[in-house]
Amino acid sequence: MTSDTPSRDNPAPHEPQSYEWDPRAPEVLDNQIAAYDALRARCPVAHSEQMGWSLLRHDDVLRAATQTRTFSAVVSKHVAVPNGMDPPEHTVYRTIVDRYFTQEVVDAFEPACRAIAADLIAALPRDKPADIVNDLAEPFALQVQSAYLGWPERLREPLREWTLSNRRATASGDRAATAAVAEQFDGYITGLLDERRAMGDAAPDDLTTRLMKEQVDGRVLNDGELVSILRNWTVGELSTISAAAGIVVDHLAEHPDVQSLMRAKAGSPATLDDAVDEILRIHPPLISNRRVVAEPTQIGGRQFEPGERLTILWASANRDEDVFGDPNEFRLDRPREDNLLYGAGIHACPGAPLARLELRMLTQELLAATGTITPDRGATSQYASYPASGFAELSVILGSVTEG
């Protein structure tokens, strides 16, 4: 692979404006963030068979995320409510979804969320290696997701296995495998919906039961719509929250100065939220989303025509040096709107208030229950591979709280 421009902003007209790359190359899978940094330095857009055209820079990603007439979110023949819809259809369903993530609804979940975090952290070993991925990040995501939606405990392990299967199928690019995994999830959820309907008025008054009563065009949501909404919430919770939890713990262990700052500010929700957001800008927990070009347009010096597939790489855009300077520098004075952690435009993550609450509860409880958090130098951390982010393996030492 060769550089396509002599500089970022002044490409030579006789040289190509794109760059072929392999998202499944070992060096990319070993450290996605570093690979995207290197790719972004070489070209504005990059092409691969798996991802189509990848957008790497902050301004291009922001444009693709916010200009819905030019960049369509309808990327699949399968229904995806509402993240795979464009206006005006998107507006109708997004209005419904937003009701489940209001600040009032999210705040009511705080005691249950804090209790889940505290119980998991209390069970972790002190002063010896703790397995953060398997014993904290993944079970935390599973338990808070189930509790928020009112799902039974018996679904936790199947959903954990499903998340792993979904990652493997997505990474393989095997459409048959992806379809089989989707069908498996549909079976879990339709079974749950059938149970609720059979219970009638005795069904629990939780968010899932409430969602089943929502209407569009004078009719209740059908199973396809319900499953799509719940799948979207579940993938976001189980994959992104578990990745984010591991990333935050790793950053605290590797950066004592940031850990000290967050311990001092643990009682300030706003400061803690900003600190977590900044950690997750440095190491994004969500890699990408897809779009399809709907109108002729130019990006990075290349002409794009309707129907061309795009991948917007949040994990690259949120580290763009033109916006953030040194992308690895932790700073709390950055404009919040520059951070694309939760996306942008009409498709910005509706669950952002819930995600911030969950990560704040986890961080507060972890800091309160430990005297120190340090790296486990006797273990080798392993980054997660696409489509996941964060860590596949992570071990740290949680120091006991000392008296006085």
Q: Characterize the bridge pairing of strands 52-55 and 309-313.
A: parallel
- In single-letter form, the type of residue at position 306 comes to P
* pLDDT for the residue 10: 44
Q: Characterize the bridge pairing of strands 391-393 and 382-383.
A: antiparallel
Q: 71 near 310, Cβ under 8 Å?
A: yes
* pLDDT for the residue 77: 87
Query: For residue range 333-352, what is the model confidence (pLDDT) as tens digits?
Result: 999 999 999 999 999 999 99
Helices 269-282 and 352-368, interaxial angle, to 10°? 100
Strand partners, 303: 298
* pLDDT for the residue 177: 83
Per the CATH hierarchy, to which homologous superfamily does domain 26-399 belong?
Cytochrome P450 (1.10.630.10)
pLDDT band at 78 (very low <50, low <70, confident <90, very high): confident
The most distant pair of C-alpha atoms in the chain lies apart, rounded to whole Å, by 70
Q: 328 near 34, Cβ under 8 Å?
A: no
Res. 12: pLDDT tops 50: no
Look up residue 281 and give its two tokens: 């800008």
- In single-letter form, the type of residue at position 61 comes to V
Q: Characterize the bridge pairing of strands 309-313 and 391-393.
A: unpaired
* pLDDT for the residue 18: 64
Neighbours of 330 (CB within 10 A): 16
* pLDDT for the residue 173: 73
Q: Which residues contact 298 (CB under 8 A, 6 or more apart)?
A: 304
User: How far is it, in rounded angstroms, from Cα 320 to Cα 9?
Assistant: 13
Share of the chain above pLDDT 70, in %: 95
Q: Which residues contact 170 (CB under 8 A, 6 or more apart)?
A: 178, 387
Q: Report domain extents, the chain.
A: 26-399
* pLDDT for the residue 1: 36
pLDDT band at 11 (very low <50, low <70, confident <90, very high): very low
Res. 272: pLDDT tops 90: yes
* pLDDT for the residue 5: 35
Query: For residue range 279-336, what is the model confidence (pLDDT) as tens digits?
Result: 999 999 999 999 999 999 999 889 999 999 999 999 999 999 999 999 999 999 999 9
Buried residues in 103-122 as b, exposed as e (16+ CB within 10 A): eeebeebeeebbebbbebbe
Query: For residue range 79-91, what is the model confidence (pLDDT) as tens digits?
Result: 899 999 999 999 9
pLDDT band at 17 (very low <50, low <70, confident <90, very high): low
* pLDDT for the residue 151: 94
* pLDDT for the residue 393: 96
Nearest to 254 by CA among 228, 283, 230, 277: 283
82 to each of 128, 227, 307, 375, how far by Cα in Å?
Answer: 45, 12, 20, 40
User: How far is it, in rounded angstroms, from Cα 300 to Cα 332?
Assistant: 30
pLDDT band at 157 (very low <50, low <70, confident <90, very high): confident
Q: 340 near 289, Cβ under 8 Å?
A: no
What average pLDDT is seen over the chain? Answer: 92
* pLDDT for the residue 63: 98
* pLDDT for the residue 79: 84
Res. 122: pLDDT tops 70: yes
pLDDT band at 387 (very low <50, low <70, confident <90, very high): confident
- Cα atoms in the Cβ-side hemisphere of radius 13 Å centred on 354: 27
Residue 243, phi-psi category: left (phi > 0), alpha (psi -120 to 50), beta (remainder):
alpha
User: Residue 385 gets which letter from DSSP?
Assistant: P
Look up residue 272 and give its two tokens: 């803690």
Across 189-198, average pLDDT: 95
Across 245-253, average pLDDT: 98
